[in-house]
Amino acid sequence: MQVPLLDFKKQYQGLKEEILKEISDVCDSQHFVLGDKVQKLEKEIAEYCNAEFACGVTSGSDALIISLMVEDIGAGDEVITTPFTFFATVGAICRVGATPVFVDVDPDTFNIDPAKIEEKITSKTKAIIPVHLFGQCCDMDAINSIAKKHELIVIEDACQSIGAEFNGKRAGSMGDYGCFSFYPTKNLGCFGDGGMVTTNDEKKAELLHIFRNHGQGSTYIHKHIGGNFRLDALQAAVLSIKLRELDSWSTAREANAAEYRKLFAASKIGDKVKLPFVANYASKHIYNQFSILVADGKRDELCSKLREANVGCGIYYPLSLHLQECFKSLGYQEGDMPVSEKLSKEILALPIFPESTSEQRQCVVDTIEKILCG
């Protein structure tokens, strides 16, 4: 049996007719950038995320960059974030000229550890970017109270967590900004690159819309230096259709996770692997990834043997960001972020996509059992 890590072909087949019709409509209109389709999607995403406003942008990476730009964060400023995330979180901080300051993660949730934030705050700190990793929110009460005390901006990196909830509150509705990606492998993916920023602040929303179009207030009159961060009408049209299905896909991912837990419990694998932890406050986990921890230095071997057996798996992320060559000048050393470093050696993502089958999950767990228990 083949078990791919990801396969959205079935999902597309179910929506193909509707999507192709919408794409054809956009082509007929010859209106490809911003416009009605983008405005419609912005309203829908704001509503879905329980935020007041939303601004469609080119990608999740640009969602982070434009949020920092609107806050005028740049050279000489520090931004606190996690070393255990996709590169773009930290790349965005550097792209605006600011300095990323890493805070190690919680060993259970893999998200930034709020207890370690305050010791990293200096007079230069301007913002915190918590990342809701793999579909589970950070401890936003703790983070927001630190931010409030020190007057810091909070930019939620919710690129992996659209629809996830912290005590009933949706990702992207709790900070000053919420950043989303519609890269095809995210839970809500478009047919290329796309992103969105949510906010509850009308002034910030207005600035986001100005900055994404080269800082133009009215045509050819520039009050700010923005950039081209405009979302395509074609992507917006596809996303509006897919958004209607998002809750059912998230429910399927949760059910798949629950099934994995039963299958692992019934196997001989025991504590050779640790299953994803769900925090008490995580009233909704959307399982962008189902990442297990593999003990005793066996992760790499397990990963390559699974792939040999045609079982897909992924390593997010194999090298903690503070140890990346491009961030050498920041001066971090091995041992500085022990939790993140340990996770990068033990983490392994298993197939969890909504259309994956019970037979496939049984095959994944059987194969792991065979490899780890002989």
Indicate the residue among 86 and 287 with the shorter CB distance to ligand PLP. Answer: 86
CB of 273 to ligand PLP, least distance (A): 23
Indicate the residue among 89 and 199 with the shorter CB distance to ligand PLP. Answer: 89
Choices 55-63, 112-120, 202-210, 234-242; region in contact with ligand PLP by CB under 6 A = 55-63
Would you report the helix, strand and coil content of the chain in percent, each value rounded to 5? Answer: 45, 15, 40
The pair of three-digit structure tokens given for residue 220, joined into one six-digit string: 């050819």
Provide the edge-to-edge strand list for the sheet that holds 273-274: 273-274, 290-294, 347-350
Closest CA to 205 of 92, 43, 61: 43
Contacts of 260 (CB under 8 A, 6+ apart): 275, 290, 350, 352, 361, 364, 365
Say how far apart CA 30 and CA 350 lie, in whole Å. Answer: 41
Choices 85-93, 111-119, 122-130, 271-279; region in contact with ligand PLP by CB under 6 A = 85-93
Indicate the residue among 161 and 256 with the shorter CB distance to ligand PLP. Answer: 161
Task: Please give the residue whose beta carbon sits closest to ligand PLP in the complex.
Answer: 60
Instruction: Please select the residue that binds ligand PLP; options are 68, 112, 159, 303, rule is CB under 6 A.
Output: 159
Indicate the residue among 157 and 341 with the shorter CB distance to ligand PLP. Answer: 157
Backbone dihedral angles phi then psi of residue 154, each to the nearest 5 degrees = -115, 120
- Could you give the C-alpha distances from 340 to 49, 120, 150, 175, 295, in angstroms and in order? 29, 17, 25, 24, 15
CB of 45 to ligand PLP, least distance (A): 14
- Does residue 176 contact residue 151 with C-beta atoms inside 8 Å? no
If binding is defined by CB under 6 A, does position 88 make contact with ligand PLP?
A: yes
Indicate the residue among 35 and 184 with the shorter CB distance to ligand PLP. Answer: 184
Choices 28-36, 59-67, 107-115, 298-306; region in contact with ligand PLP by CB under 6 A = 59-67
With CB under 6 A as the rule, give the number of residues binding ligand PLP: 15
Q: Which residue has the tokens 């692992």?
A: 264
- Does residue 69 contact residue 96 with C-beta atoms inside 8 Å? yes
Q: Using CA of residue 200, residue 248, residue 4, residue 255, what is the dihedral sign?
A: positive
Indicate the residue among 70 and 131 with the shorter CB distance to ligand PLP. Answer: 131
Indicate the residue among 157 and 369 with the shorter CB distance to ligand PLP. Answer: 157
Bridge partner residues of 274 (DSSP): 293
- Could you give the C-alpha distances from 291 to 242, 260, 299, 336, 356, in angstroms and in order? 25, 11, 12, 23, 16
Say how far apart CA 182 and CA 177 lie, in whole Å. Answer: 16
If binding is defined by CB under 6 A, does position 61 make contact with ligand PLP?
A: yes
If binding is defined by CB under 6 A, does position 183 make contact with ligand PLP?
A: yes
Indicate the residue among 269 and 323 with the shorter CB distance to ligand PLP. Answer: 323
Instruction: Please select the residue that binds ligand PLP; options are 82, 136, 181, 240, rule is CB under 6 A.
Output: 181
Q: 3-class DSSP state for residue 141? A: helix
CB of 332 to ligand PLP, least distance (A): 20
CB of 60 to ligand PLP, least distance (A): 2
CB of 161 to ligand PLP, least distance (A): 8
Q: 3-class DSSP state for residue 349? A: strand
Binding mask 107-136 for ligand PLP (x = CB under 6 A): ------------------------x-----
Choices 86-94, 105-113, 262-270, 298-306; region in contact with ligand PLP by CB under 6 A = 86-94
Indicate the residue among 59 and 344 with the shorter CB distance to ligand PLP. Answer: 59
Bridge partner residues of 284 (DSSP): 165
The residues that touch ligand PLP, with contacts defined as CB under 6 A, are: 59-61, 85-86, 88-89, 131, 157, 159-160, 181, 183, 193, 195
